[in-house]
Amino acid sequence: MNPIMSSIGLLLCSNVFMTFAWYAHLKNMSHKPWIIAALVSWGIALFEYLLQVPANRIGHQVLTVGQLKILQEVITLTVFVPFSVFYLKEEIKLDYLWAALCMLGAVFFVFREKLFA
């Protein structure tokens, strides 16, 4: 399989775990002490790392570290917005669109050598 697509798939899955690790406790564990929420989050984050580390190793075969980082940030926003709207029931804001446009600019600048090679 293409290393870029493998990396994207693994990063997407890892980001779902990390988003839950970072934010799900706000909805599900708000009545628990923060240390309990932190320990549960660490448990969830373990699965994130089991996907994220291979994703970066596979992706680094064909991408620079900067390209991997921007790719991760785009995936983070792609996962976070639906999570915050559908799971945490937060309002969707126009600011997410502006953030996405800024990310597209970052993608362009980091990948432009590959785009125009």
Mean pLDDT (the chain) is 94
Q: Has residue 99 got a pLDDT over 80?
A: yes
Q: Has residue 1 got a pLDDT over 90?
A: no
Q: Has residue 74 got a pLDDT over 80?
A: yes
Mean pLDDT of 65-71: 95
**pLDDT > 90: what percent of the chain?**
91
Mean pLDDT of 6-33: 95
Q: Where are the domains of the chain?
A: 3-116
- Full DSSP string of 22-79: HHTHHHHSTTS-HHHHHHHHHHHHHHHHHHHHHHHHHHTTTS-HHHHHHHHHHHHHHH
For residue 43, what pLDDT is reported? 95
- pLDDT tens-digit series, residues 85-96: 999 999 998 999
Q: Has residue 77 got a pLDDT over 90?
A: yes
Mean pLDDT of 78-103: 94
